[in-house]
Amino acid sequence: MISAFFLSQPPETPASTTNSNRKLNWLEFVAVATGENGEGYIRAVKGLDTFTGQIVHSSRYKPGHE
């Protein structure tokens, strides 16, 4: 999926996909599965081993708590 937005009339959400058969789908529901509860992966980045700040994967970031 590359985009989605809500329309009150009709009560459906248009969504377009990124596969080779690009088309606009009209959906009644959309589940946004961002992986918040999944296991985070932080890839190797040059300089990460010498970075002195806190490194937080987005799946572990809880706004307002820290």
The pLDDT value given to residue 29: 74
Output DSSP code: residue 5.
-
CA distance 36 to 21: 29
pTM of the model: 0.35
Identify the pLDDT of residue 40. Answer: 76
Cβ distance 54 to 60 under 8 Å? Answer: no
Model confidence pLDDT, tens digit, residues 4-26: 776 666 655 556 566 666 666 77
Cα separation, 66 vs 63, whole angstroms: 7
Residues 21-60: tens digit of each pLDDT? 666 677 777 776 666 666 778 888 899 999 999 888 777 7
